[in-house]
Amino acid sequence: MANTEAATVTNKQIIFPDYVSGFPKESDLNVTSTTIDLTLPEGSTSVLVKNLYMSCDPYMRICMGKPDPLANSLVPAYIPGKPIVGLGVSKVIDSGHPDYKKGDLLWGLVGWEEYSIITLTLHSHFKINHTDVPLSYYTGLLGMPGMTAYAGFFEIGSPKKGETVFVSAASGAIGQLVGQFAKLMGCYVVGSAGSKEKVDLLKTKFGFDDAFMYKEEEDLSVAIKRYFPEGINIYFENVGGKMLDAVIVNMKLHGRIAVCGMISQYNLMDPEGVHNLPTVLYKRIRLQGFAVCDFYDKYDKFLDFVLPYIREGKITYVEDISEGLESGPSALLGLFEGKNVGKKLFVVARE
Amino acid sequence: MANTEAATVTNKQIIFPDYVSGFPKESDLNVTSTTIDLTLPEGSTSVLVKNLYMSCDPYMRICMGKPDPLANSLVPAYIPGKPIVGLGVSKVIDSGHPDYKKGDLLWGLVGWEEYSIITLTLHSHFKINHTDVPLSYYTGLLGMPGMTAYAGFFEIGSPKKGETVFVSAASGAIGQLVGQFAKLMGCYVVGSAGSKEKVDLLKTKFGFDDAFMYKEEEDLSVAIKRYFPEGINIYFENVGGKMLDAVIVNMKLHGRIAVCGMISQYNLMDPEGVHNLPTVLYKRIRLQGFAVCDFYDKYDKFLDFVLPYIREGKITYVEDISEGLESGPSALLGLFEGKNVGKKLFVVARE
C-alpha cells in the first residue's frame, strides 16, 4: 500500500556523463543532486528504497563502454546522463509491490544515488531474510560475487576432491571465495594477486595453499609451473590476456577453465591475442564463459550451503569499504588499478 | 595359433627421417625397403597383418614435430628412423592373439608399410565385422574420422533441432559427416572450404544448407554473419587461428565450440593470437577441445547409428584415394595445402 504522506528530499546521484574508451578517469563520473518524493504514487507497483551499501564490480567497466552487441550480451551499457547502475543493499521506504513492505531489506540493481525507485523483474532483486550476518555481505559474499564464485566453481569447474585449482585476481570479491570453496572440497589451491599484502591475505586469511604476485614474475608460465608441476585441473579465470595464455599451457588433461571475467582486457581498445589455444585441443580442455544471471535460480541453494559455514566461521570475507556516495567514483576506478584489498564497496547510509 | 611355415618377403616402408619444423616437404619422408617373416614366432600374442588402406589425417602433422609435452598429450611424436604410423585397414596373415585369426579384417594404428606386426592395446584396433560397405570406409566414415564427427557433434556440440551449425574445413574427412549429422538432427548448417569444387560438393552432395570459399572472403567475420545473421549455436572447429577469431564474435548466447582440430596452426612455429576471447565470457560460450580416443567406448553405438543410414543411402562419403604406398608422402602433405577433396587415403594393396 502506498504511503500517503508526501516528503520531498534531496537525492545525491553519481551520473554517467558519456561512454568511456580506454582507462576511465574520475572525471568520467559526476556527483550531482536532484530531489525525490519519498512517497510512491497511488497504484504504483514499484518499490522505493533508501540505498545503504553499493558494490563496485569489474563488470561495470563493460557497461561504461560504447554500446556493443557483444559486450551487451552480458551487461547493458550505461545511459549517458543517467546515474551509474550497480548492485546495492537497500531498505524499503515505500512499496506498491505485494512482496515488499516498508522496512524490508533487499539487494539487487539500483542507481548510484541515495534513494531509488525500483521496478522488480525476475532475479533483479532478492529479499534479505538473514540479518545475523553483516548487511554489506549482500554486496559480496551473499550477493552476486558469492553466487558467481559458487556457480563458477561448482557448476562450471566440476571440482573433485584432490584436484588442483588456480585462481587469478584471487583476493578479490570472487576469488577469495573460490579459494575457500576449493579448500572445503579438498582441493589444492593457489592464487595470484597484485601485491604482497594480498598474497599474504590469500595464505594467512583465506587458506590458499600458496600464492604469488603476478607482477613480480618475468615469465608467468614458469611461475605457474612452479606451483603446479603436475598441472592444473581447474582455472578460475578473472583476468584474461597474458595470464590466460600462461595458464593454458599448464592445464592438465581434461582441465576446466571457468571464465568469470577478464579484467585485464576491459580497458583495452583491442583485446590481447591468446596464442596457446591449440593446447585446448591437445589437452582436451573445456574453456567456458559463464554469467551469474544464468544461475540465480540456485540462489536459495547457495544460501543454504554458505550460511552455515559463515556462522561456524569456516568461511571468511574481507571487504574494502569506502565511506559516502561521493567516494563511489574513486572506489570503482581503483578496481582497475588493483587498489582494493578484498571486496570493494562503499557506504551510502548505515541505516 | 602361430603359423609354422616361414616365408620372408620384402616389406616397403615410408620412413620418418627426422622432426619437422614449419611446412613439411616430401623429402621429409623416405620410401625404403626391408624384409619381414610372414610367420609370427611361437608364443607371440601379436597379430601380423597385410596393410590394405592407409589414412592421411591432419593430426599426423603434430606427430612430425619435435616431441613436445603439450602436443604429445594428444598424439605421440614419430620416432626418427621408424616408419610413419597412421590408421589403416589391414588383413590378418598370422595371429597369436585369441581375438584374431587369419583372414580377419581390422582397422587401427599401423606403420606405413606393406606388412606390420601389431601389438593390441585397449581401443588401438577394432575388428571389422561389417563388410557390406567399402572397406576403405574404415579409414574414414566408419573409422576415426567418423567416430570423431559423431562424438564431437553430439557429445560436445549438444545439438538441438533447429539450431544453427557452422563447420570449417567442411568437405574433409570429418566435416562432411558433421554437416550430414547436423541435417539429420534438423539443424541449419553452413560449411567453409578452400575451393569452388569443395563448396559445390558441400551444397550438392552433402546437403549443407549453404557453403562458402573462405579464401575469397576479405573479412571472414562479415562472411560468417552473412550466413548466420542471428548467430551460430554450434561451431565445429577444424581450422583455428583467424577463422576461430571470426567465428567467436558470431556465436549465439550459450553457443558451443567443439574444437576438433586447428589445421591452420600445426605448421606455424608460433600459433596465431586469438583476440576475441572476451566474447566467450560475454556470450557464455563453451569452447571445448576433444579427442576421439576419449570416446571409443561408444564405437559400437556409433556403428549402430551410422550403418543403417549408409545402407539406406542417407549418409554419403567422398574419398580421395591415391594408389600405392609410394603415394603416401604426397597424399599426406597435400592435406596441408587443401589438395584433397574429401577423405584422403591411399591403397597399399586391394586384398
At A17, is the secondary structure helix, strand, or coil?
A: coil
* B183 & B68 share domain: no
Interface of B with A in 286-315 (CB under 8 A): 286-291, 294
Interchain pair A259, B280: CB under 8 A:
yes
- Residue B313, domain member (yes or no): no
Measured between CA atoms, the residue of chain B closest to residue A290 is: B284
How many angstroms separate the CA of residue A221 from the nearest CA in chain B?
13
* Pair B150, B289 in one domain: yes
Give yes or no for a contact between A281 and A251, defined as CB atoms under 8 angstroms apart: no
* Cell representation of residue A295: 544461475
Contact at CB, B284 and A290, closer than 8 angstroms: yes
- So what's the pLDDT on residue A1? 44
Would you call A221 an interface residue with chain B, using a CB distance cutoff of 8 Å?
Answer: no
Residues B23, B108 share a domain: yes
- Kindly report the CATH number assigned to the domain that includes residue B89: 3.90.180.10
pLDDT above 60 (res B4): no
Residue B291 · residue B261 · CB < 8 Å: no
pLDDT of residue B6: 61
**CB contact, 8 Å: B265 with chain A?**
yes
Per residue in B87-125, pLDDT tens? 999 999 999 999 999 999 999 999 999 999 999 998 999
Q: Are residues B76 and B214 in the same domain?
A: no
Classify residue B311: in a domain, yes or no.
no
Q: Are residues A231 and A257 in the same domain?
A: yes
Q: What is the dihedral of CA A335, A341, A347, A350, to 10 degrees?
A: 160
Chain A residues touching B260 at Cβ < 8 A: 281
Helix (H, G, I), strand (E, B) or coil at A234: strand
Q: Are residues B159 and B289 in the same domain?
A: yes
* Of A90-99, B209-218, B332-341, minimum mean pLDDT range: B332-341
Give A-chain residues touching B283 at CB under 8 angstroms. 70, 73-74, 289
Residues B131 and B271 reside in one and the same domain: no
Please tell me which of the candidates A259, A266, A273 has its beta carbon nearest to residue B273. Answer: A273
Asked whether residue A28 is domain-assigned, the answer is: yes
Say if CB B40 and CB B96 are below 8 A apart: yes
Look up the domain containing B235 and give its range. Answer: 144-293
The verdict on B128 and B72 lying in the same domain is yes
Indicate yes or no: CB of B273 within 8 angstroms of CB of A272.
Answer: yes
pLDDT value at residue A6: 61
Write down the pLDDT at residue A5. 53
ipTM of this predicted complex?
Answer: 0.92
Question: Which residue of A lies nearest to B272 if distances are taken between CA atoms?
Answer: A275
Q: What is the pLDDT of residues A232-281, one digit of tens each?
A: 999 999 999 999 999 999 999 999 999 999 988 888 878 899 999 999 99
Q: How far is B265 from chain A (nearest CA, A)?
A: 8
Closest CA to B215 of B199, B227, B200: B199
pLDDT score at B5: 54
- Across the interface, whether the CB atoms of B271 and A278 are under 8 A apart is answered yes
A284 shares contact with chain B (CB less than 8 Å):
yes
B279–A70 CB contact, under 8 Å: yes
Q: Which of A240, A283, A288 sits opposite B278 (nearest CB)?
A: A240
- Do both B157 and B169 map to the same domain? yes
Is A3 among the domain residues?
A: no
Query: DSSP string covering B25-68, please?
Result: -GGGSEEEEEEEESSPPTT---EEEEEEEEE--TTHHHHHSPP-
A214 lies in the same domain as A231: yes
**C-alpha to C-alpha distance for A220 and B66, rounded to whole angstroms:** 24
Q: How many domains in chain B?
A: 2
- Average pLDDT over chain B, rounded to an integer: 95
A272 neighbourhood in chain B, CB within 8 Å? 273, 275
Q: Using CB atoms, which residue from B249, B275, B294 is nearest to A273?
A: B275
Same domain, A155 and A279: yes
Residue pLDDT, tens place only, B269-326: 788 999 999 999 999 999 999 999 999 999 999 999 999 999 999 999 999 999 999 9
- Assess A67–B contact: CB distance below 8 Å, yes or no: no
Question: Does the pLDDT value for residue B163 go beyond 80?
Answer: yes
Residues B180 and B244 in one domain: yes
- Residues of chain B with C-beta less than 8 angstroms from the C-beta of A62: 282
Q: What is the mean pLDDT of residues B228-233?
A: 98
Q: Does B67 touch chain A (CB under 8 A)?
A: no
Contacting residues for B133 by C-beta, under 8 A, at least 6 apart: B142, B307, B310, B311
- Chain A hits for B286, CB-CB cut-off 8 Å, are 286-289
Q: Which residues of B touch A259 (CB under 8 A)?
A: 277, 280-281
Intervals of chain A under pLDDT 70: 1-6
